[in-house]
């Protein structure tokens, strides 16, 4: 590492790049889980939802992860990423989104969950928690700069004034900092909460909210 302190713009580019790299890794993990013989989304959900509440809580995930090492706060943040209705828990559809599975393809049955599925899903959650930690660290660093304002940062990326960030504007931004642009769709998928394939200013503000 050089002693050069990164500029806000450099940190922003790094933030998006980290998401792209991690999201690619997680995406492979999602694919891996579903290709394991005996994978059944309903059964995996039921295994984690210990008391058949029809949702997965933080406690359920703590129990599922057992002795794995992670911070509870990061686990909570990770749940928040997939908790569309903000009730601090994951229902079946939110869970399916997490593993990239179409809930319409669910099949009945409380079959036993293969060990390989449990292990693969554990790795997926730990990867998700890692993503929360690394990105949270970079976002904190950005927010700690006294000359940072969310709107200026947004305009740096939305250089054409479209009022949203799409694959095109994000690619140009990352290119300017010599980062790969192959993962831009995955980055947008991660940060797009309303599913229009764009990052609006409101969605951008969520990343840097000053709580």
User: Interface residues with Ca ion (CB under 5 A)?
Assistant: 83, 85, 87, 89, 192, 194, 196, 198, 200
Residues in the chain: 211
Cα 119 to Cα 190: distance, rounded to the nearest angstrom: 23
Nearer to Ca ion, 13 or 94 (CB): 94
Nearer to Ca ion, 38 or 162 (CB): 162
Shortest Cβ 83–Ca ion spacing (Å): 4
Nearer to Ca ion, 33 or 98 (CB): 98
Q: Please, are residues 126 and 68 in contact by the beta-carbon 8 Å criterion?
A: yes
Supply φ then ψ for residue 90, to 5 degrees: -110, 120
Shortest Cβ 137–Ca ion spacing (Å): 24
Shortest Cβ 82–Ca ion spacing (Å): 8
Shortest Cβ 111–Ca ion spacing (Å): 25
Q: Which residues pair with 69 in a beta bridge?
A: none
Q: Strand, coil or helix: what is 164?
A: strand
Nearer to Ca ion, 115 or 196 (CB): 196
Shortest Cβ 144–Ca ion spacing (Å): 27
Nearer to Ca ion, 72 or 196 (CB): 196
Q: Please, are residues 61 and 79 in contact by the beta-carbon 8 Å criterion?
A: yes
Kindly report the CA angle at 21 between 19 and 27, in degrees rounded to 5? 90
Q: Give the contacts of 132 (CB within 8 A, at least 6 positions apart).
A: 74, 77, 78, 81
């Amino acid at each position: 590492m050089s002693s050069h302190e990164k500029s806000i713009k450099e940190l922003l580019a790094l933030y998006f790049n980290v998401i792209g790299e991690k999201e690619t890794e997680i995406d492979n993990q999602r694919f891996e889980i579903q290709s394991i013989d005996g994978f059944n989304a309903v059964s995996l959900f039921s295994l984690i939802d210990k008391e058949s509440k029809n949702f997965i809580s933080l406690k359920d995930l703590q129990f599922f992860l057992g002795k794995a090492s992670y911070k509870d706060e990061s686990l909570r943040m990770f749940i928040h990423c997939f908790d569309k209705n903000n009730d601090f828990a994951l229902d079946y559809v939110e869970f399916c989104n997490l593993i990239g599975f179409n809930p319409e393809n669910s099949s009945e049955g409380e079959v036993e969950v293969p060990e390989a599925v449990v292990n693969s899903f554990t790795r997926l959650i730990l990867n998700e928690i890692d993503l929360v930690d690394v990105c949270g660290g970079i976002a904190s660093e950005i927010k700690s700069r006294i000359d940072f304002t969310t709107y200026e940062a947004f305009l740096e990326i939305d250089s054409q004034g479209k009022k949203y960030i799409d694959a095109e504007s994000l690619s140009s931004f990352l290119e300017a900092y010599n980062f790969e642009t192959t993962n831009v769709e995955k980055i947008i998928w991660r940060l797009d909460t309303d599913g229009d394939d764009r990052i609006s200013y409101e969605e951008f503000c969520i990343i840097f909210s000053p709580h």
